[in-house]
Amino acid sequence: MSHSLIDRLTTEFRYPLLADQAALDAFVARPGAHVLFVPGDVARNLETPDVAVILPELKAAFQHAFDCAVVADSLEKHVREATGVFKTPSLILYREGRFLGGIPKVRDWSDYVARLSHYLSTESA
């Protein structure tokens, strides 16, 4: 998964790198909304660095209405299968342990805003 723009998310922005099931479960169960960045294979997915740049911009645009984490290679398959969001790179949204939806691949800014607004307005179960 190593790429400087993904590394930037965990170093400069201090997004946690979720490398095991316990860390994933604890992160998504916390109060509030959460976005998981599932990078996929950087060598094959040329869109991955783009989404790594877009995610912090989305967080700022939504005035930090959600927190973010990066899913490690070791958990990617599990997260994709558990959510049904198979295409990468993807952003997967949770609120207090509940899966809200996913946004696969690179999108237009307006599509990100519309989808995130919809998911963030979804009430918790």
Q: DSSP states of 79-115 as a string?
A: HHHHHT--SSSEEEEEETTEEEEEEES---HHHHHHH
Below-50 pLDDT ranges, the chain: 1, 124-125
Please check whether residue 28 is in contact with residue 81, taking contact to mean a CB–CB distance below 8 angstroms.
no
55-69: pLDDT as tens digits: 999 999 999 999 999
Spatial distance between the Cα atoms of 115 and 112, rounded to a whole number of angstroms: 5
Spatial distance between the Cα atoms of 103 and 111, rounded to a whole number of angstroms: 9
Confidence (pLDDT) at 125? 42
Q: What is the pTM of this model?
A: 0.95
Region of residue 104 (phi > 0: left; psi between -120 and 50: alpha; otherwise: beta): beta
The domain 4-117 is placed in CATH, from the list 3.40.50.720, 2.30.30.40, 3.40.30.10, 1.20.200.10, at: 3.40.30.10
Determine the angle formed by the axes of helices 48-61 and 109-121, rounding to 10 degrees.
60
